[in-house]
Chain A
């Protein structure tokens, strides 16, 4: 299940199940969105991106959905694996702002073997 504590919200899923991580963004003028994966002690790693003129984009085992009406972004991971355990951040970019990336609060994904 999903829980929100004092720090990062955590999502726990069984290995093999699908994961859905949600994010609310703030700037309605943002035109580019990215999901990043951050493992402990490392920098963010690009997973998938989507432009504001799209509402869905699929990659390998991952799908990003964008709902501009409610400023909501989600990342779906199919057949979650232990290696997917990490913190996931959504990020929004406003191209008029020199590619400045604004990160969301992050969600910790724990995969239970």
Chain B
């Protein structure tokens, strides 16, 4: 079946550091990728939608200069949390949508802890 891989799965870093998270579709080409944020015991909240070769569409309240998204190829999207602070600590999950009438496939998430 379709597989989406996220890397890293867990990262701990100091406040002020920028962190890059990768999302790859391993066996299909993803025309669209989505980035979600999930706080403990809460639901997934969509942050942005990215289409290959174009600018990402951010949801209301999500700072595009804080969360940089690059979807440079049909198999890779990256989310960079710039100048991360403790309040950015969360579980970040990506998903990928291929062609056709298929549901989104989710990665296993990246747990980000900012000290």
Contacts and interface: CB of A to CB of B under 8 A. Distances in A.
Given A44-B93, A46-B103, A98 B32 contact: yes
Nearest to B43: A103
B49 A45 contact: no
Nearest to A45: B106
Nearest to B91: A41
A103 B45 CA distance: 7
B43 A42 contact: no
A89 B104 CA distance: 14
A14 B11 CA distance: 37
B7 interface: no
Contacts of A101: 34, 46, 95, 104
Contacts of B93: 43-44
Interface in A79-113: 89, 98-106
Contacts of A41: 108-109, 111
A98 B49 contact: yes
Most buried by B among A41, A42, A44, A98: A44
A43 B6 CA distance: 10
Nearest to A87: B41
A36 B93 CA distance: 14
B74 to A, nearest CB: 16
A25 B58 CA distance: 22
Most buried by B among A43, A45, A100, A104: A43
Interface in B89-115: 93, 95, 97, 103-109, 111
Interface string B38-56: 0011111110010000000
B61 to A, nearest CB: 15
B43 A44 contact: no
B43 A89 contact: yes
A54 B97 CA distance: 23
B13 to A, nearest CB: 19
A104 B103 CA distance: 16
A7 B93 CA distance: 20
